[in-house]
């Protein structure tokens, strides 16, 4: 698959565009596939390690609530940081996932406002629970 802007994917809204990539709320998603989607379509994927936090909170609220907590101690992490963190702990982590895929439960898809080059813009996101 060639990289394409997220907005050019089939679908009339964010939910339908993620569905065109096989990502739907309540479904399962492979972490390596999500990493490819992040790279190819410039979206955010947030990995949660606490089911209750993932289910009841928003990304914005979590970022504010855990602002002073070191990233490694938070109950969530952005997917690219998650892979970097895991590679530091276990070199070859991503390569191992090619033979033993790791899936996560898709909790939510949507848009959130985030800063990009000092401008607040809507960002498509996927929130997944790993556990």
pLDDT digits (tens, 9 = 90+) for 14-30: 999 999 999 999 999 99
| Residue 31 · residue 105 · CB < 8 Å | no
Q: Are 34 and 124 in contact (CB under 8 A)?
A: no
Confidence of residue 88 (pLDDT cuts 50, 70, 90): very high
Quick one: average pLDDT of 79-106? Answer: 93
Percent of the chain with pLDDT over 90: 80
Q: pLDDT category, 2, cuts 50, 70, 90?
A: low
Residue 115 has pLDDT above 70, yes or no: no
Question: How sure is the predictor about 114, in pLDDT bands with cuts at 50, 70 and 90?
Answer: confident
- Res 120: pLDDT: 73
pLDDT, residue 91, reads 92
Contact 40, 121 (CB under 8 A): no
Which residues have a Cβ under 8 Å from the Cβ of 129 and sit 6 or more positions away? 48, 49, 51, 54, 55, 104, 105, 107
Pairing of strands 44-48, 119-129: parallel
Contacts of 53 (CB under 8 A, 6+ apart): 62, 75, 76
pLDDT at residue 118, as a whole number? 72
């Amino acid at each position: 698959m060639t990289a394409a802007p997220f907005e050019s994917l089939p679908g009339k809204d964010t939910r339908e565009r993620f569905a065109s990539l096989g990502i739907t709320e309540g479904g399962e998603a492979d972490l390596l596939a999500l990493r490819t989607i992040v790279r190819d379509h410039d979206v955010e994927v947030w990995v949660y390690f606490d089911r209750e936090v993932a289910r009841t909170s928003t990304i914005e609220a979590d970022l504010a609530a855990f602002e002073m907590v070191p990233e490694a101690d938070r109950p969530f992490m952005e997917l690219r940081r998650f892979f970097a963190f895991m590679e530091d702990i276990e070199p070859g982590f991503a390569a191992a996932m090619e033979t033993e895929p790791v899936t996560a439960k898709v909790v939510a898809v949507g848009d959130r406002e985030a800063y990009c080059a000092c401008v607040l813009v809507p960002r498509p996101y996927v929130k997944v629970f790993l556990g």
